[in-house]
């Protein structure tokens, strides 16, 4: 059943990839979506953070499994809109690095917080990630299509983290090692 859903999603995405090069009518709209969709995948900091959100949400369990990722996506959209309008938080890159470090520690220590507290934590980090998406959007891109692209990818990465978290439920040591690796990447990002 899961493989069938994957195939359906892949079939839905094929038209985007088929028109991902110049020369097609409506190319700009498709290119904007594709550009937005690849942005979180090409930045290792975004990629790790978004998977980590899903992994931590899986560890939290209960309603947090969906409330935490929804919180991230919602605040990320707000941050992207603010970033696109030219607002920039000081320490944007440090905020992204901190998201990796803190999320990694939360996963490594299997910290369980209430759903509202967890939503506030990931929401704060989502603001930094969203602003980065908004400020790095190409000037010629359609904000809506670019935004839809990185929103879809973010949801996919959160789902990947949730899946990993569920798969590692009986392998606490592996989950803790994964969290430690994310925290180390966050510490390294402060230096880079």
**pLDDT tens digits, residue range 33-46?**
888 888 889 889 99
Q: What is the pLDDT of residue 31?
A: 64
- Give every residue of the chain whose pLDDT is below 70, as ranges: 1-31, 140
Contact between 130 and 83 under an 8 Å Cβ cutoff? The reply is: yes
Q: What is the pLDDT of residue 134?
A: 85
> 3-state SS of the chain: helix, strand, coil percent to 5?
80, 0, 20
Q: What is the pLDDT of residue 130?
A: 93
Q: For tokens 């991902």, name the residue.
A: 20
First to last CA, the chain: 43
* Strand boundaries in 9-105, DSSP class E: none
Q: What is the pLDDT of residue 30?
A: 55
Q: In whole angstroms, what is the distance from residue 15 CA to residue 89 CA?
A: 36
Domain ranges of the chain: 36-191
Which candidate, 50, 67, 71, 45, places its Cα nearest to that of 186? Answer: 45
Q: What is the pLDDT of residue 9?
A: 47
Q: What is the pLDDT of residue 43?
A: 87
């Amino acid at each position: 059943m899961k493989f069938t859903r994957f195939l359906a999603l892949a079939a839905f995405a094929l038209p985007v990839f088929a028109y991902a090069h110049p020369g097609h009518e409506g190319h700009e709209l498709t290119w904007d979506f594709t550009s937005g969709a690849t942005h979180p995948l090409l930045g290792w900091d975004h990629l790790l953070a978004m998977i980590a959100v899903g992994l931590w949400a899986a560890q939290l369990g209960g309603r947090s499994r969906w409330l935490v990722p929804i919180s991230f996506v919602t605040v990320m959209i707000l941050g992207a809109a603010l970033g696109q309008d030219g607002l920039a938080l000081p320490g944007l890159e440090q905020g992204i690095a901190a998201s990796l470090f803190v999320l990694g520690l939360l996963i490594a220590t299997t910290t369980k917080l209430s759903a509202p507290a967890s939503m506030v934590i990931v929401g704060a980090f989502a603001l930094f990630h969203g602003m980065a998406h908004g400020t790095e959007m190409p000037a010629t891109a359609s904000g809506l299509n670019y935004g839809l692209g990185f929103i879809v990818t973010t949801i996919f990465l959160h789902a990947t983290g949730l899946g990993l978290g569920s798969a590692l439920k009986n392998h606490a040591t592996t989950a803790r090692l994964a969290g430690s690796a994310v925290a180390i990447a966050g510490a390294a990002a402060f230096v880079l």
